[in-house]
């Protein structure tokens, strides 16, 4: 999330080292397309073979006799072939066979996980219908699913190791030309430069006419010339995609750039710099034939996604309260022994859509900690803190009663941490995009917190993490954050 520091050099004419990609002989684009399609085909064939072998192996090791009871097994290999084909179809529908995901292991397993889970339910139902619901059918089904899952993980890890080799990966990356230079272009190019899992590489950038070298880019991003020479630059450097990074140009020039790219069979795209947040939620809708670009369709804007998150919250909160009850009782007793008085601390916080609620914690400070009446954050080695308070905060034990807030629907297990309304009155004016985080429920833990942004830390950076979570929410992302909560205690105070 945090953008590394960029070393700046003034742009110079495009005199490139012989080994640089932009100085090499242009590669034939069709060869890259063929190579990419071939690799996708190989990944699909490998997945099919894994599913086929898993079903066949489960049928041969099935001690319950379910496989022999399925009529299709008496017709040779019909059932394994059918099961493997449905496996392939479901993975395809889940987006597992996308060229841009082959280099990105996390995205690959995210799509495979969703598709594999859907296929597992389908497979269980199919076997149950054919062989009737029984211990035998369940044994065979779970054996097949287990073999398939283990085989798929092993195969995809091996395949990823193969495609990550630079001689192969270079055919999967699109060669990008930046038109103009902006701070956003700098952040983007630095991220692409440092991550070899991204399906693209920045070849260089060109300047708008009349800029006279005002743009400054890092030394590792070559300056290739002016946009007046755009057609020649596109052809000589074998560009696949051109990104317009600065839309503050004459309106007539944008169609001209798009036309020049089209003539060279280069995709033309625009970085929406007028939308500094929620970029992943941008989409084009049509109103009476007119295309309109806007921000919408965040994952948790969907009713069924919110319903799924709420079900997980209820189950998790119930489970958490049952497990945490003895721990809460023990620490409440320790707090009372050290500082007699109420052991629970209630404080007004801001929830979803600005609705206030009372958050519940185990008290970790003295009773007179806020006698001044001024709201504020806990600081490192805060003198108001109880001796047991530091240990509770380090391990998030003081937050355990918030499972009750989750059960009541005021909070979620995972989300941006809620703040006090008194503080928010200032933050929404001082911190850009601050109130965007209140479009979803606050959480017991969050993406910013597990990355060390808690307590008296940089608010702007914390907001960036919260917004990233809102844009990229998924059940697996929530699970990842919950697991990280047990091990990440940076800035706990």
Categorize the per-residue pLDDT at 321 as very low, low, confident or very high, splitting at 50, 70 and 90: very high
What local confidence, expressed as pLDDT, does residue 216 receive?
A: 62
Rounded Cα gap, residues 297 and 283, in angstroms: 8
Maximum C-alpha span of the chain: 82
Residue 403: pLDDT over 80: yes
**Domain termination residue (choose one: 149, 166, 183):** 166
Partners of residue 294 on adjacent β-strands: 283
User: Does 463 fall in a domain?
Assistant: yes
142-151, 178-187, 211-220, 300-309: least confidently modelled range: 211-220
Rounded Cα gap, residues 178 and 223, in angstroms: 10
Rounded Cα gap, residues 82 and 347, in angstroms: 58
User: Does 279 fall in a domain?
Assistant: no
Q: Where are the alpha helices (DSSP H) in 164-302?
A: 166-169, 183-194, 230-236, 253-263
**Domain termination residue (choose one: 253, 274, 295):** 274
pLDDT mean over 78-102: 81
Rounded Cα gap, residues 189 and 206, in angstroms: 14
Beta strand 412-414 pairing with 443-445: parallel
What local confidence, expressed as pLDDT, does residue 154 receive?
A: 93
Backbone angles phi, psi at 117, to 5 degrees: -65, -45
Site of tokens 């109130």: 435
Beta strand 290-295 pairing with 282-287: antiparallel
User: Does 298 fall in a domain?
Assistant: no
Structure-token pair, residue 88: 């392939």
How many domains are there within the chain?
A: 3
Categorize the per-residue pLDDT at 290 as very low, low, confident or very high, splitting at 50, 70 and 90: low
Three-state DSSP state, 304: helix
What local confidence, expressed as pLDDT, does residue 98 receive?
A: 79
pTM of the model: 0.54
Rounded Cα gap, residues 301 and 202, in angstroms: 34
**Domain termination residue (choose one: 274, 291, 311):** 274
Q: Are residues 310 and 433 in the same domain?
A: yes
- The pLDDT tens digits for 232-258 are 888 788 788 888 877 667 667 778 888
Q: Are residues 155 and 178 in the same domain?
A: no
Q: Is 108 left (phi over 0), alpha (psi -120 to 50) or beta?
A: alpha
- The pLDDT tens digits for 153-180 are 999 999 988 888 878 877 777 788 888 7
Task: Write down the mean pLDDT value for the chain.
Answer: 76
Which one has a higher pLDDT value, 308 or 20? 308
- The pLDDT tens digits for 265-279 are 778 887 766 555 555
Q: Are residues 115 and 179 in the same domain?
A: no
Q: Are residues 343 and 397 in the same domain?
A: yes
- The pLDDT tens digits for 324-345 are 999 999 999 999 998 888 899 8
pLDDT mean over 132-142: 63
CA–CA distances in Å: residue 465 to residues 135, 236, 345, 448, 460: 47, 40, 27, 5, 9
pLDDT mean over 124-133: 62
Q: Are residues 316 and 250 in the same domain?
A: no
Structure-token pair, residue 365: 């400070």
What local confidence, expressed as pLDDT, does residue 19 receive?
A: 39
Find the domain containing 211 and state its range: 173-274
């Amino acid at each position: 999330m945090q953008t590394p520091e960029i070393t700046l050099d003034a742009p110079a004419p495009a005199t490139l080292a012989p080994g640089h990609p932009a100085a090499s002989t242009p590669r034939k684009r069709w060869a890259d397309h063929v190579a990419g399609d071939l690799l996708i085909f190989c990944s699909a064939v490998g997945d099919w073979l894994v599913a086929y072998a898993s079903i066949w192996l489960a049928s041969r090791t099935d001690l319950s006799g379910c496989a022999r009871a399925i009529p299709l097994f008496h017709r040779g290999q019909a059932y394994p072939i059918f099961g493997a084909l449905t496996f392939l179809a479901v993975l395809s529908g889940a987006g597992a066979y996308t060229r841009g995901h082959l280099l990105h292991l996390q995205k690959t397993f995210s799509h495979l996980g969703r598709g594999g889970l859907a296929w597992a339910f389908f497979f269980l139902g199919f076997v149950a219908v054919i062989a009737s619901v029984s211990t035998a059918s369940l044994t065979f089904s779970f054996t097949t699913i287990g073999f398939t899952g283990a085989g798929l993980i092993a195969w995809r890890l091996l395949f990823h190791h193969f495609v990550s080799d630079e001689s192969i990966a270079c055919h999967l990356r699109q060669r990008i030309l930046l038109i103009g230079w902006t701070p956003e272009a700098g952040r983007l190019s630095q991220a692409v430069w440092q991550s070899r899992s991204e399906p693209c590489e920045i070849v260089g950038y060109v300047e708008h006419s009349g800029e006279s070298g005002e743009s400054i880019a890092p030394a590792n991003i070559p300056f290739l010339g002016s946009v007046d020479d755009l057609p020649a630059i596109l052809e000589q450097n074998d560009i696949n995609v051109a990104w317009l990074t600065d839309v503050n140009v004459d309106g007539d020039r944008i169609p001209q750039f798009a036309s020049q790219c089209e003539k060279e069979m280069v995709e033309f795209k625009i970085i929406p710099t007028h939308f500094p947040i929620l970029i992943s939620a941008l989409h084009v809708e049509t109103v009476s034939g007119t295309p309109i670009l806007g921000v919408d369709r965040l994952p948790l804007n969907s009713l069924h996604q919110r319903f799924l998150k709420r079900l997980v919250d209820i189950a998790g909160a119930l489970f958490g309260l049952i497990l945490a009850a003895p721990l809460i009782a023990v620490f409440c007793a320790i707090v009372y022994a050290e500082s007699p008085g109420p052991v629970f601390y209630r404080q007004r916080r801001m929830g979803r859509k600005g609705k206030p609620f009372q958050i519940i914690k185990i008290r970790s400070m003295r009773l007179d900690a806020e006698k001044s009446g001024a709201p504020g954050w806990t600081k490192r080695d805060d003198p108001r803190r109880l001796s047991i308070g530091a240990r509770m905060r380090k391990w998030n034990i003081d937050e355990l009663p918030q499972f009750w807030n989750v059960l009541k629907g005021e909070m979620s297990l995972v989300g941006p941490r809620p703040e006090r309304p008194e503080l928010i009155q200032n933050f929404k004016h001082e911190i850009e995009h601050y109130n965007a985080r209140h479009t979803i429920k606050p959480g017991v833990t969050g993406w910013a917190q597990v990355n060390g942004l808690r307590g008296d830390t940089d608010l702007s950076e914390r907001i960036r993490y919260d917004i990233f979570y809102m844009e990229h929410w998924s059940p697996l992302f929530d699970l990842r954050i919950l697991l990280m909560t047990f091990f990440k205690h940076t800035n706990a105070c």
